[in-house]
Copies of this chain bind each other. A is one copy, B any other.
Amino acid sequence: MVSGPTRDAVIQIVDYVSKAIELISDSEKDSMIDLLLNARKEGRRIFVVGAGRSGLVAKAFAMRLTHMGFDVYVIGETITPPMRRDDILLAVSGSGRTKTVVAVAETARSIGARVVAITTYPDSPLGRVSDLVVRIPGRTKLAVEEDYIVRQVRGLHEPLAPLGTLFEVTTMIFLDGIVVELMHKLGITEEEMKEKHANIE
């Protein structure tokens, strides 16, 4: 059984995600799923973008979309095709202010693509350029007080999840939930996903 600050942090993160899920809007989630399903039905492409750890979370979601047979690409990778009108850009940025992510979203918008932002700040530059914002609660809202108590008790001085950790982990798990809902709606089995999983890596 893991103990020490590692344990405190894991419990804090898990607790945060449990509460955060209660605060994510069901209609925002449903709108995102509808956009993805419509894109799939109409042969339109999904592009993902994000920087740093948010970019890794975006890629983790893109992999699962690939496993479900979506036509998905990562901005900046080798074989990424041009974006077209009505394609979808899924942009992940906690602050909504990451420069290159905002630049990509603006270009996507000018092409006529639909931009979905996953961010804590709907009123950020990314949020404002997006057609749909899925709001992921930020650390300040939920974690600070409890974080403080745990740290007092344990004699820790720094937060139990530094920088964007809570946003990144919450987004990763939320998107893994979206994957399950898409599987359900499309009738895709885990076995079928395994068949679309890279076999050389």
A interface residues, Cβ below 8 angstroms from B: 1-11, 13-14, 17-18, 21-26, 29, 33, 47, 51-53, 55-57, 59-60, 62-64, 66-67, 72-83, 98-100, 103-104, 107-108, 111, 156-163, 165, 168-169, 172-174, 176-181, 183-184, 188-190, 193-201
How many copies of this chain? 4
A136 to chain B, nearest CB (A): 11
With a cutoff of 8 Å between Cβ atoms, the chain B residues found around residue A8 in the complex are 177, 180
Question: A66-B81, A77-B77, A162-B193 are known contacts; what are 19 more A-B pairs with Cβ within 8 Å?
Answer: A2-B24, A2-B25, A4-B181, A5-B181, A5-B183, A9-B177, A10-B17, A10-B173, A10-B174, A14-B17, A14-B18, A52-B197, A55-B201, A59-B78, A60-B168, A77-B78, A111-B200, A163-B197, A165-B179
* Contacting pair A72 B62 (CB below 8 A): no
* Contacting pair B190 A158 (CB below 8 A): yes
Sample 13 A-B pairs with CB under 8 A, ordered by A number.
Answer: A1-B24, A4-B26, A5-B184, A9-B180, A56-B60, A63-B79, A66-B79, A67-B162, A76-B201, A111-B200, A163-B194, A165-B176, A165-B179
A199 to chain B, nearest CB (A): 4
With a cutoff of 8 Å between Cβ atoms, the chain B residues found around residue A13 in the complex are 173, 176-177
* Contacting pair A26 B52 (CB below 8 A): no
* Contacting pair B6 A174 (CB below 8 A): yes
Give Cα A51 to B63, complex, Å: 12
Give Cα A83 to B196, complex, Å: 9
Instruction: Write the chain B residue with the least CB distance to A17.
Output: B14
With a cutoff of 8 Å between Cβ atoms, the chain B residues found around residue A163 in the complex are 67, 190, 193-194, 197
With a cutoff of 8 Å between Cβ atoms, the chain B residues found around residue A25 in the complex are 2
* Contacting pair B195 A82 (CB below 8 A): yes
